Structure 1
Amino acid sequence: MSRGIYITANDRVTEQAIALLNSIRFYDPETPVVLIPYDDQYHAVANTLNQFYGVQVYEDLEFIDRLSKKLHQCFGEKFFARPNQFRKQACWFGPFDEFVYIDTDVVVFEKIIDNTNYLAEYDFICSDYQHAGGITNVFTSRVIEDQIFTEDELTGIFNGGFWGSKKNLISEEDLYKTFAECAAHPEYFDFSQKTSDQPIINYMILKRLPRRFNIVRKPGKGPGNWAGSHHFVRQGDILVDPNLNQPLQYLHWAGIRMEPGCPYWDIWEHYRHLDGPEPAQPFVRKPEDPLWRKVVNQVKRAL
């Protein structure tokens, strides 16, 4: 049985992809990693990741393009802020029998592929506390009012930046049918923070894969992983959750601009410079918007 890791990236996120791969290879030099191109501007990052880490590009690029276009066309060309995020759904049809998918704004602190051991008992795994914040960024209250999901079922929501499953558990037909169902009821989904794939994929997994396991619900609980949580403590090359006295599995900068001064920037810099090529250019912190622009942006968001 083959096991592997999928990532999505383009040339714009080369630095993040290098940091992620440095962390993966530090704990695991062997597990194969496949790159799903985020768009057509991926050749530079693909060459770098192949040269230094042995990353291979997903073989059937025509399939990825056709799949992602057909999926987001269900909602209309301009509905999603980042429709290319749906390319990651090619994971279901790639070379690995069991896999984990990881966003590039992540660094890992363990041999992350070992989490596929849970797939001996379950069909889908995740490891986060997305559910602790309620259904925000995934669903609206309409899914409860219309009895689409029970409140208990909604405790199964997850963050789309890290998850794992098995090849072909979701078919192309499942994907298209799910998107058609969702397109008929956009009022069920919370896209207010410009999420794209996360609400739809949560709907699909909750509807179609009942054997799910969130690793943070293991006996004794698991640590968090969001970089917006400020209580983690650095111990050497890793972060520890002092509330549980456990090392984090990974750290995810979801929704956070990755730049000098952001949370746990020292950890990201450590893994970025651990190995691989020198940075193409140094990170420069983006100047803060003047007060008048902040006010204008707040008004726009309220409209």
Structure 2
Amino acid sequence: MNRGIYIIGNDKVIDQAIALLNSIRLHDTDTSIVMIPYDDHYHNIADTLSHNYGVKIYEDLDFIDRLSQELCKIFGDHFFARPNQFRKQACWCGPFDEFLYIDTDIVVFEKIIDSLNYLKTADFIYCDYQHLGGIKNVFSPKFIEDQLFTKDEVEAIFNGGFWGSKKNLISEKELYEIFSECAANTEYFDFSEKTSDQPIINYMLLKRIPNRFNIVRREGKAPGSWAGTPHFQNRGNVLFDPTVNQTLQYLHWAGIKIEPGCPYWETWEHYRNLNPALPTTGIPARVQKSKWQQMLDIFKKLGQIEPKSSKFRNKSIDLQGI
């Protein structure tokens, strides 16, 4: 069985990709990894990942361009904030019979390709607690009101940053059909926070792939994976979830900018700098605003300051001690 990992990236996320690849190769030197270019600016990252980690570029670039253009056209050119995310759907037609897709803002703590062992009894796997947070950024309340799927089915929603499946389970033709169904019924999806592919891939999962498995539902449960979770413990640069007494499989900074001061920055920095052949990361620390600027921001939000003139509307505000 031909197994492998897909990632998607461009030169802008080279630091994230290096951290991910360092973590993967720490546990697994053999698994093939293919990068799907996010856009045309990918040559630096391609050279770095190819030379240091044996990553290959998805061969059929014409197919990726055609696929992303057609999927975007179905909704209209300006509907999505990040339409190039749809390029990850090329996973279905790539070289691997079984595959994992992994976002670059992830580091792993085990031989992650072994997650595909769950495909012995399932056609699609994922591994997160997205369902506990409700339907936000996936479906709208109308989706639930109209009972398009059962409550149990809706609880299968997942984060699109980590998932695995089988080649040709979804065809190019089916992708166009699924996107067309979604475009004709946008009131059922939550695009309010500029998410692009997550609502659609969740709909696709519910509509077309009944044999699926969320790894966190395995016997004995599974650890969390989101970097916004505050209770993970660092044990020798491997994170531990005390709520289930297990080591994390991976950590995902979904929706969190990776920079000094972000959650679990030290963990990410460790993996980013594991390869001595590469320069250390140069991500600058977040610029800290002065107390004065922080107070101005608060007043602006409260409507106390004119945005352009910066004159106080309420003269009674006490600024003593700023």
**Could you tell me the TM-score, scaled by structure 2's length?**
0.90
User: Residues 148-183 of structure 1: CA distance to partner in whole angstroms, max 9, x if unpaired?
Assistant: 122111110000000000000001111000110000
Equivalences for 1:226-241 in 2 at 5 Å? 226-241=226-241
Show the counterpart of 1:33. Answer: 33
User: Residues 125-159 of structure 1: CA distance to partner in whole angstroms, max 9, x if unpaired?
Assistant: 00000001011110011112122122111110000
SS of corresponding position for 2:91: helix
Give 5+ residue unaligned stretches, structure 1: none
Show the counterpart of 1:133. Answer: 133
Say if 2:186 is the partner of 1:186: yes
SS of corresponding position for 1:192: coil
SS of corresponding position for 1:284: coil
The 10-residue stretch of structure 1 (273-282 or 65-74) with the greater mean CA deviation from structure 2? 273-282
Show the counterpart of 2:216. Answer: 216
Say if 2:160 is the partner of 1:147: no
The answer to whether the 8 Å contact 1:126/1:214 transfers is yes
The answer to whether the 8 Å contact 1:131/1:156 transfers is yes
- Per the TM alignment, residue 294 of structure 1 is displaced from its structure 2 partner at its CA by 6.9
Across the two proteins, how many residue pairs are aligned to each other?
Answer: 299
* CA gap 1:162/1:281 in 2 versus in 1, 3 angstroms: closer
Show the counterpart of 1:199. Answer: 199
The answer to whether the 8 Å contact 1:36/1:88 transfers is yes
* CA gap 1:118/1:294 in 2 versus in 1, 3 angstroms: farther
The answer to whether the 8 Å contact 2:106/2:250 transfers is yes
Show the counterpart of 1:255. Answer: 255
Structure 1 residue identity aligned to 2:15: E
Structure 2 residue identity aligned to 1:78: H
Say if 2:5 is the partner of 1:5: yes
Show the counterpart of 2:163. Answer: 163
- Per the TM alignment, residue 295 of structure 1 is displaced from its structure 2 partner at its CA by 7.1
The answer to whether the 8 Å contact 1:97/1:167 transfers is yes
Show the counterpart of 1:90. Answer: 90
- Per the TM alignment, residue 193 of structure 1 is displaced from its structure 2 partner at its CA by 1.8
The answer to whether the 8 Å contact 1:102/1:162 transfers is yes
- Per the TM alignment, residue 241 of structure 1 is displaced from its structure 2 partner at its CA by 0.1
* CA gap 1:297/1:127 in 2 versus in 1, 3 angstroms: farther
- What CA distance in whole angstroms lies between the structure 1 residues aligned with 2:65 and 2:221? 39
Of structures 1 and 2, the one scoring higher in RCO (CA 8 A, sep 6+) is: 1
- What CA distance in whole angstroms lies between the structure 1 residues aligned with 2:86 and 2:288? 31
Give 5+ residue unaligned stretches, structure 2: 304-322
Say if 2:76 is the partner of 1:79: no
- What CA distance in whole angstroms lies between the structure 2 residues aligned with 1:165 and 1:140? 26
User: Residues 56-105 of structure 1: CA distance to partner in whole angstroms, max 9, x if unpaired?
Assistant: 00000010011011001111101111000000000000000000000000
User: Residues 25-77 of structure 1: CA distance to partner in whole angstroms, max 9, x if unpaired?
Assistant: 00000000000000000000000000000000000001001101100111110
- What CA distance in whole angstroms lies between the structure 1 residues aligned with 2:92 and 2:17? 21
- What CA distance in whole angstroms lies between the structure 1 residues aligned with 2:301 and 2:205? 35
Q: Give percent identity, aligned residues only.
A: 65
- Per the TM alignment, residue 286 of structure 1 is displaced from its structure 2 partner at its CA by 3.0
* CA gap 1:48/1:298 in 2 versus in 1, 3 angstroms: farther
Show the counterpart of 2:284. Answer: 284
- Per the TM alignment, residue 293 of structure 1 is displaced from its structure 2 partner at its CA by 5.4
- What CA distance in whole angstroms lies between the structure 2 residues aligned with 1:229 and 1:12? 26
- Per the TM alignment, residue 237 of structure 1 is displaced from its structure 2 partner at its CA by 2.5
Show the counterpart of 2:314. Answer: none
Show the counterpart of 1:107. Answer: 107
- What CA distance in whole angstroms lies between the structure 2 residues aligned with 1:13 and 1:106? 12
